[in-house]
Amino acid sequence: MLPIALDLSRLTIVLVGTAEGLAKRQDQLLRQGATDLHVFSYPDFPSDELLERTKLILGVDLDEHGNARLADVAKHHNIILNIEDVMEHCDFHYASFMQRGDLFISVNTSGKSPTLTTRIKNYLAQIFDEKWEGRLNEIAQQRLSWRSQGLDYKQVIQKSNAYIDERGWLS
């Protein structure tokens, strides 16, 4: 697994599903910045024309036939696929995440235990509370200042570590 964060505003995304799972996933994608999102209520499927520009397909609450069909479509068009709770059709697994401004912390168990993933995320959320948004902005400004002073990458890392330690942010 390669843990990455995708900029959903840059991708054409197809979402196929049924019931409340579809609405929940659609809402999540929109909150996370999806701007070119195409939603289909199963058994409706996207056209080949749309699939030619699609980068990501997500399936939610489909039956076996729908899962197999969506997997075939994704494979045929070479599109990254995730069908919720159907690991054999998943090219990736969702991470549980928390966000504090631009600080983004995620936890992933490769689909083995979504419950454990959520519990760990909730635990970390107590440690990394809202004050971390300000801390990130503070050290970002310091980093820019150090870079403008001509410090190299290694020196900026050393200064950053000292700055964090002096303020006791991780102790």
Cα end-to-end span (Å), the chain: 30
Q: What are phi and psi of 156, to 5 degrees?
A: -65, -40
Beta carbons of 87 and 119 less than 8 angstroms apart: no
Domain ranges, ordered by start, for the chain: 8-92, 95-129, 131-167
What residues have CB less than 8 Å from 104, skipping those under 6 apart? 5, 97, 98
Instruction: List pLDDT tens digits, range 19-62.
Output: 889 999 999 999 999 999 999 999 999 999 999 999 999 999 99
The rounded mean pLDDT for the chain is 94
Q: Give the CB-side neighbour count of residue 74, counting CA atoms within 13 A.
A: 23
* Distance of alpha carbon 139 from alpha carbon 6, whole angstroms: 24
CA angle 148-99-153, nearest 5°? Answer: 25
Q: Is the pLDDT of residue 1 over 80?
A: no
Mean pLDDT over residues 83-109, rounded?
A: 89
Q: Which residue has the tokens 């996207």?
A: 46
Half-sphere exposure of residue 24: CA atoms within 13 angstroms, side-chain side = 8
One of 3.40.50.720, 3.30.300.30, 2.130.10.10, 3.40.50.1220 is the CATH number of 8-92, namely 3.40.50.720
What pLDDT does 2 receive?
78
Instruction: Give yes or no for a contact between 25 and 17, defined as CB atoms under 8 angstroms apart.
Output: yes
Angle CA(128)–CA(133)–CA(136) in degrees, nearest 5?
A: 100
Q: Is the dihedral of CA 82, 101, 129, 157 positive or negative?
A: positive
Q: How confident is the model at residue 10 (pLDDT cuts 50, 70, 90)?
A: very high
- Per-residue pLDDT band for 120 (boundaries 50, 70, 90) equals very high
Bridge partners of 80? 56
SS (HEC) of 140-151: HHHHHHHHHCCC
- Find the range with the poorest average confidence among 3-12, 19-28, 94-103, 126-135: 94-103
58: part of which helix (H) or strand (E)?
strand 56-60
Q: Which pLDDT does position 126 carry in this prediction?
A: 94
At residue 168, φ and ψ (nearest 5 deg) are 65, 25
